[in-house]
């Protein structure tokens, strides 16, 4: 994807001992790259959400394991480092998927080969993520084309929640990939961007990347989607996913379930886009079984923004003493989902 017109990926290794990322905590106010040189630094970057989004968390964990292979002097030490990565965030399954994949590869090789094996596998995980997102884009494009064909000469309005874009993966994004593909193919699209409280990944990140790509969009408060759907202003919803059970229940950013309910009530198609690394075949019933992250109360009580003097400031918006609870994700049952867009095609949930 483009940053100031220049192609970029969200993560790469400039040399054998460095993982380079875009520090997403500073977007959209400033575009900064950050170098991670130890497993502890990688774990902190995931936990503190310098990197975030299921696909990118997986790719970062893959690269973290490449550093772990250099740091560990035996398999036991490597497994301790692997656990420190897995424990950073609970909901996105791509994290443990990438770590387990790396451990399996290292176990299958001789311990002497571990550094080379882990680095190669990390690059493969990142490349596969980008390739999966490209394919998701092409499959999702067909859905957008079908809708465009039913309203010739008019714009297709797509609502998305949170950031399941390029920034949440290695390239292209999942929910945004069909949008980027449609835009590139000349299909007129417009995106309703949920601001996505509490951390505002929609308002801060999805807007930023859609702007970089020149895709028309409008930011809405999280509660606006239902009203837009009632007035025929949403043609389809596409969200991402952090974990999908074998029954097709989807964990995604908190608030996704409410969008799916509103979409069902208004006959708006509701699609979820994900690479196959986000499936968790060990789980069946999403609401009961998917672990839901609870995050710091500060994300609710405070907001960060750009002050009039250009400085980034944090302000309190909830009175001292009010009790706060902050669930990061919710589960949308398969019955509310029109289809899952994966790299292999579109299937029912
Ligand atoms: O908490 P985050 O920012 O890591 O949230 C994950 C997400 O970005 C969303 O839930 C997204 O829609 C799916 S992940 C690509």
User: CA-CA distance, 55 to 255, in Å (whole number)?
Assistant: 20
How many Å lie between the centroid of ligand 1 and the Cα of residue 226?
A: 21
Out of 235, 242, 249, 280, pick the active-site residue: 242
Q: Which of 156, 345, 311 is nearest to 236 (CA)?
A: 156
Residue ranges per structural domain of the chain: 2-128, 143-347
- pLDDT at position 349 is 85
Q: What is the pLDDT of residue 111?
A: 81
pTM: 0.96
Q: What phi and psi values does residue 316 have, to the nearest 5 degrees?
A: -85, 135
Q: 294 C-alpha vs ligand 1 centroid, how far in Å?
A: 14
Q: Report d(CA 189, CA 140) in Å as an integer.
A: 13
- Cβ–ligand 1 distance for 58 under 6 Å, the answer no
Q: How far is the CA of 72 from the centre of ligand 1 (A)?
A: 30
Nearest CA to ligand 1 atom 6: 53
State the distance from the centre of ligand 1 to the C-alpha of 114, rounded, in angstroms: 31
In terms of Cα–Cα distance, which of 238, 227, 144 is closest to 189? 144
Is cis: bond before 20, omega within 30 of 0?
no
Return all residues near 8 (Cβ < 8 A) that are at least 6 apart: 1, 2, 22
With contact defined as beta carbons under 8 Å apart, do 250 and 237 qualify? no
Contacts of residue 233, Cβ cutoff 8 Å, sequence gap at least 6: 157, 192
Distances (CA, A) of 82 to 30, 105, 150, 266, 301: 31, 13, 50, 45, 33
CB 125 near ligand 1, within 6 Å: no
What is the model's pLDDT at position 194? 98
> b/e for 275-292, b at 16 or more Cβ within 10 A?
bebbbbeebeebeebbeb
In terms of Cα–Cα distance, which of 148, 171, 172, 167 is closest to 158? 148
Ligand 1: residue of 164, 170, 274 to mutate (most ligand atoms within 8 A of CB) is 164
CA nearest to 141, candidates 152, 131, 126, 156: 156
The secondary structure of residue 90, as a DSSP letter, is S
Tell the CATH topology of 143-347: Rossmann fold (3.40.50)
Helix (H, G, I), strand (E, B) or coil at 305: strand
Phi, psi of 11 (to 5 degrees): -155, 145
Please indicate whether residue 52, judged by its CB atom, sits closer than 6 Å to ligand 1.
yes
Give the model's pLDDT for residue 260.
98
With H, G, I as helix, E, B as strand and everything else as coil, classify residue 95: helix
Tell whether ligand 1 has an atom less than 6 A from the beta carbon of residue 91: no
Q: What is the pLDDT of residue 253?
A: 98
CATH superfamily label, 2-128: translation initiation factor eif-2b, domain 1 (1.20.120.420)
202 Cα to the center of ligand 1, angstroms: 10
How would you write the pLDDT of the chain (349 residues) with one tens digit per residue?
A: 889 989 999 999 999 999 999 999 999 999 999 999 999 999 999 999 999 999 999 999 999 999 999 999 999 999 999 999 999 999 999 999 999 999 999 999 988 899 999 999 999 999 999 999 999 999 999 999 999 999 999 999 999 999 999 999 999 999 999 999 999 999 999 999 999 999 999 999 999 999 999 999 999 999 999 999 999 999 999 999 999 999 999 999 999 999 999 999 999 999 999 999 999 999 999 999 999 999 999 999 999 999 999 999 999 999 999 999 999 999 999 999 999 999 999 999 8
- 235 is a catalytic site residue: no
Q: Let me know if the fold of 2-128 is the same as that of 143-347.
A: no
Q: Distances from the Cα of 129 to the Cαs of 14, 42, 331, in angstroms?
A: 19, 19, 23
25 lines ligand 1 (CB under 6 A): no
Question: How far apart, in Å, are the Cα atoms of 142 and each of 98, 131, 138, 219, 282?
Answer: 30, 18, 7, 25, 31
Check if the beta carbon of residue 241 is closer than 8 Å to that of residue 174.
yes
Please report the pLDDT score of residue 92 as a whole number.
94
């Amino acid at each position: 994807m483009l940053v100031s017109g220049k192609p970029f990926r969200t993560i790469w290794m400039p040399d054998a001992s460095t993982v380079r990322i875009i520090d997403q905590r500073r977007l959209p106010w400033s575009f900064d790259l950050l170098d991670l040189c130890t497993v502890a630094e990688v774990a902190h970057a995931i936990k503190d959400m310098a990197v975030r989004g299921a696909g990118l968390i997986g790719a970062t964990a893959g690269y973290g394991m490449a550093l772990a292979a250099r740091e560990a002097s035996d398999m036991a030490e490597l497994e301790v480092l692997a656990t420190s990565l897995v424990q950073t965030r609970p909901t996105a399954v791509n994290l443990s998927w990438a770590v387990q994949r790396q451990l399996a590869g290292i176990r299958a090789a001789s311990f002497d080969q571990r550094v080379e094996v882990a680095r190669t596998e990390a690059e493969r995980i990142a490349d596969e993520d980008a390739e999966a997102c490209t394919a998701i884009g092409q499959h999702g494009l067909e859905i957008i084309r079908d809708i465009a064909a039913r309203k010739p000469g008019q714009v297709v309005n797509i609502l998305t929640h949170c950031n399941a874009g390029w920034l949440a993966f290695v390239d292209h994004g999942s929910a945004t990939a069909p949008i980027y593909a449609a835009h590139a193919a000349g299909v007129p699209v417009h995106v309703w961007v949920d601001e996505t409280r509490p951390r505002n990944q929609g308002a801060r990140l999805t807007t930023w990347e859609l702007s970089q790509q020149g895709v028309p969009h409008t930011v809405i408060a999280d509660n606006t989607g239902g009203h837009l759907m009632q007035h025929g202003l949403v043609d389809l919803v596409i969200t991402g996913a952090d974990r999908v059970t074998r029954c097709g229940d989807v964990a995604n950013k908190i608030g996704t379930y409410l969008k799916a309910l509103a979409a069902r009530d208004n006959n708006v198609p509701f699609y979820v886009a994900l690479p196959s690394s986000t499936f968790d075949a060990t789980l069946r019933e999403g609401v009961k079984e998917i672990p839901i992250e609870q995050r710091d109360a500060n994300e609710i009580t405070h907001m960060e923004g750009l002050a009039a003097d250009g400085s980034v400031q944090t302000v309190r918006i909830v009175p001292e003493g009010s009790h706060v609870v902050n669930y990061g994700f919710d589960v949308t049952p398969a019955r509310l989902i029109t289809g899952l867009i994966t790299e292999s095609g579109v299937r029912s949930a």
